[in-house]
Structures are given as C-alpha cells and as structure tokens.
Amino acid sequence: MDFGVTSEDEAFRREVRGWLAEHVGDAGDRRDWERVLGGGGWIGIGWGVEGYGNRAVGLERQVVWAEEYARVRAPARSGHIGEKLLAPTLIAHGSEEQKNRFLPPIASGDELWCQGYSEPGAGSDLAGIRTEAVREADGYRISGQKIWTSLAHEADWCFVLARTEAGSRRHRGLSFLLVPMDQPGRIEVRPIRQMTGTSEFNEVFFDGAHARAEHLVGGEGNGWQVAMSLLGFERGVSTLAQQVGFAQELGQVVEAAVASGAADDPVVRDLLVRQWAELRTMRWNALRTLGSSADQGAPSVAKLMWGRWHQRLGELAMRVRGAGAAVGPGDWSAGSPYELDALQHLFLFSRADTIYGGSDEIQRTIIAERVLGLPREAKG
C-alpha cells in the first residue's frame, strides 16, 4: 500500500495473511468457500456498517484484505455480486426490513446473487431495457429476458431492473426488484458457452416470475436512480486487487518471453516495459480516486484504461509464445476436452474486457455527458 501505513495496519496485514494461509486450503467448491469467508467475518468488511455477521474496517484495511487475497491467489469469488453491489445498494436505498432480511445471508455466504441488467438489443444501455413487471395484489409478475448474467446458474437471487410503468421509455418507469431464482417453469437459466470453453455468463428468461411487493427497493418507478447508485459501487478497492492479479499475469508473460527467447527482441522488451509502466499508472490513478465520489468520470476512465490494457497483455502473451501459442496443453482432437493454458485463457477471455461491465462506447458517453457537459446523444 502506498499511503499512511501504521503499525496497527501492519498488524492487520499479518492477521489477514495468517488467516488466509490457514483457510485457503479449505476452499472446497465456490459456495463452500463463501461460507468459510463468512465464518471469518470477511464478507462485507467495506459496507461501512456491522452487525449483520460481518466486521467493518476502514478503507486502508479493505485495501490490505483485497491485495493479500489476490496475492495468495485465493479462489475466485461467487458472492461478490451480492457483497459488492447489492449490499451497498440496500444500505443506501433499502428499508430496514430489507437490510435485516438480505444482508446477514450475504455476510454469511449462504445466499448468492446475480445481476439482471443487460438485455438483448439493449446491451450496456440500461435505459433501453424491455423486461416488464406487472403489479399484482401480492407483488409483481416479471416477463422478459436478461443476458450476460454472471453466475446466474449458481445464484439464489437476482436483482432485476424492469419496467413497472406500461408504455414508459428510457429511464422513466423502471423499478429495482429482488427476485428468487428458484421458480421452476417461471425462470430458465441457459449458460452461454464462451470461446474459453467455460460458461460464467448466462441467458435468463423470466416467464411470469414472482417478486414480492416488499422486495421492491427504493420505491416503484425509482429503479433508474437505484441502478445508477449501484453502478457507482462496481469499482473501488476491488480495482487495486484486480491490479495485483494483472501484475501476476504480466509476470507470467515476462517469464514466457524469457523462455521463448522473445525477450531478446527490443520491440518486445519495449512492449513489456510499456505494460509495466501503464499498470503502475493505473495503480496511482486508483489510489488518487479511492474513496472519492466527487469525480463522476473516474470509474469510466478506470474501466477504459484497464480494459484495453488487459487486451494488449493477452495479445502480447500470444506474441511472445510464437507458434507455440496455438498448441494447447492437451489433445485438441475431436471429442477431447477443450483445454487452455493460463496465457491462452488470458488472451481469449480478455476479448470481452471492453464489453462487459459497460462497453467502451458507454464509458465514453458517460465521460462526454457527465464530465465534459457535451450534448446528450440522441436516443431512439
């Protein structure tokens, strides 16, 4: 960490390292690991409140936790959508009943969430969604389709942005609903097989799915405000942890360049140094904006920076491998499992970095309209 480290912070870092060293081997499957984290009180440390089975710590210690977690390459999280996105949104906009109902099982790792935002034909344009939620006596009936829904195949709940006002357009008439995923015949999840061979993303079809009236967050018709608030939580401390992972990947690419002899090429050496320097720049930018809500364009600038950087790293990984980059770790003949090594996976998966989480086009529009004050783009 590059700011104000006290002896107490260093003691906390030692505590984190000790706990991870003791428990990271207990990971089991992803859901079991969430419960291990919850049992240690490590879920929800950045909520700013405690009392839901979590511990609350300051910004510096959140950074310590995130960076140490990344350094030991602890298992990928399946509960981060509930912890990092929904929970802060409920704390800001939810009722006391909603907080008491949903925050404890998130903090314990017992309930997993997915995000029902993007739709076919709308993509990153949230104001263009068409999923409808019709008010009934006991709640809402939801019909429509969401796409690129991360971890929907594992989730217990989904927060869904839907139209509750018939005939409304753009950001008007939207509501933010909490929807249980266990509704056979009313909710269907179809995994999307990616070119990496994995299926983290899904299509989700709602056919009369039910959401209870008390699971409406922020009031009917206020979904746009709630959704925009949630997007503000998507980046922050987690960006610094992400950069630790990036640094590890860059180290692998450097090792591959040395092993293949590509590191002797002055052009390749220049590209490797550029990746290193840009990663340092991203870190300083993240530290500069950490904890601040004054710069509305900061999250979009960060997304534009790391998305393109990560793609260039994947391309460089293939370049330093040469012809060997086309050869998998196993037999790629018909009928055999589709396997990739770490650098091949990096290259293929990073193709999506400029699309998911808000495409580059959307990020540039946000900067143009909200920061530079340029005229709003005409919408159909």
Exposed/middle/buried for residue 75 (C-beta within 10 Å: 0-12, 13-18, 19+): middle
Note if 315 is an active site residue. Answer: no
Which positions ≥6 away from 363 have C-beta within 8 Å? 300, 301, 303, 304
| 184: number of Cβ within 10 Å | 6
Find out whether 348 and 196 touch, Cβ atoms under 8 Å: yes
- Main-chain dihedrals φ then ψ at residue 311, nearest 5 degrees: -65, -45
| Among candidate residues 151, 135, 197, the one with its CA nearest the CA of residue 345 | 197
| Per-residue tokens: 293 | 């809500």
At how many degrees (to 10) do helices 59-71 and 7-23 cross? 40
Which of these is catalytic: 67, 234, 278, 369? 234
What is the Cα–Cα distance from 369 to 375, expressed in whole angstroms? 6
What is the Cα–Cα distance from 209 to 42, expressed in whole angstroms? 33
Q: Which residues are part of the catalytic machinery? A: 234
